[in-house]
Amino acid sequence: MRLRKAERMNDLMRVSARKLLTIFCILVVSAVGVVFAATVLRQTSSTISLGTGVDDSIVTVYGNGVTFIQCTETVVVENGANDVQFYLPAGALTDTLTVSGVNVLHIATSNESNSIINSGDTITVYTQSSAYTGKFISWDTMLLLEADNGTVMIPTASITRIVLNEVVQVQGPKVLVNVTTNSPPGDYKMNISYLMRGPQWSPTYFVDLDTSHLQCWATIENVEDWTNFTLVLVSGGPHIVYYNPVNVLNAYIHKPPMTFAQVEAQIDFSPTTTDEYHEYTYNSKLSFQEGTAVKLPLFNGTVRLRQEYFWSDGEVQNRYHLNDTTGEPLASGTVEFYRGNAWVGEDSIGYTPVNAESIEVVNYAEDIRVTATVTKSIVQGSYWDQGINITIMNHKPTSAQILIQQDIYGYTLVESTPQATQLGSTLSWTINVNPDETVTIYYEWKNS
User: What count of residues does the chain have?
Assistant: 448
The Cα 284–Cα 269 span in angstroms is 9
The predicted pLDDT at position 66 comes to 80
The predicted pLDDT at position 124 comes to 85
The predicted pLDDT at position 5 comes to 42
User: Are β-strands 304-311 and 400-407 bridged in parallel, bridged antiparallel, or unpaired?
Assistant: parallel
- Residue 39, helix vs strand vs coil: helix
The torsion angles phi and psi of 13, rounded to 5 degrees, stand at -65, -40
**Which H or E element spans position 68?**
strand 66-77
User: Is-contact 392 438, C-beta < 8 A?
Assistant: yes
User: Is-contact 218 296, C-beta < 8 A?
Assistant: yes
The predicted pLDDT at position 287 comes to 87
CA-derived radius of gyration, the chain: 34
Burial label for 302, CB within 10 Å (0-12, 13-18, 19+), is: middle
- Class of the CATH domain delimited by 368-446: mainly beta
| pTM for the whole structure | 0.73
In the predicted model, residues of the chain with pLDDT beneath 70 are 1-56, 111-116, 164, 166-172, 237-266
Domains 122-166 and 368-446 agree in fold: no
The predicted pLDDT at position 42 comes to 37
The predicted pLDDT at position 239 comes to 58
The Cα 95–Cα 81 span in angstroms is 24
- Map out the domains of the chain as residue ranges: 122-166, 368-446
The Cα 343–Cα 340 span in angstroms is 8
The Cα 243–Cα 250 span in angstroms is 9
* CB neighbour list of residue 98: distance below 8 Å, 6 or more residues apart: 191, 192, 193, 194
The predicted pLDDT at position 172 comes to 67
Q: Would you say domain 122-166 falls under CATH 3.30.70.980? A: no
